[in-house]
Structure 1
Amino acid sequence: MDLTGAIWRKSTRSSGNQGDCVEVADNLPGVVAVRDSKDRHGPALTFTPASWASFVAHAKRH
């Protein structure tokens, strides 16, 4: 999958980890990409927007 147009962002809660966290790009149509901020040229996981929203909702509850 081509992610060259991805606009990556970190969580505002990541500041206590010296910036090491996951980054999310949700600006691409039909896909949400997630990568490790320490390995920006490494692999990225991709999810459908619905799957990502479900994951985030579940994580907020726990």
Structure 2
Amino acid sequence: MRKPSPYLMRDLNGDKVQDIMNFNVALKRHRSRSVFEISIFLFAVAGYLLALAATT
């Protein structure tokens, strides 16, 4: 029998949520960000700043 989840967060695929929570919380591993993720973030910030500058 499976051990009940210590986490309250559930969705239709409970195992996937459990795996994500175990990876991020229980194991306390730090995953380095990829260049792709960082570039998307910086592009979004630049777009926000350009939109803000265009409206003022």
Q: Which has the higher helix share?
A: 2
Give the TM-score normalised by structure 1.
0.27
Answer 1 or 2: which has greater strand percent: 1
Of structures 1 and 2, the one with the larger relative CO (CA 8 A, separation 6+) is 1
Greater radius of gyration (CA): 2
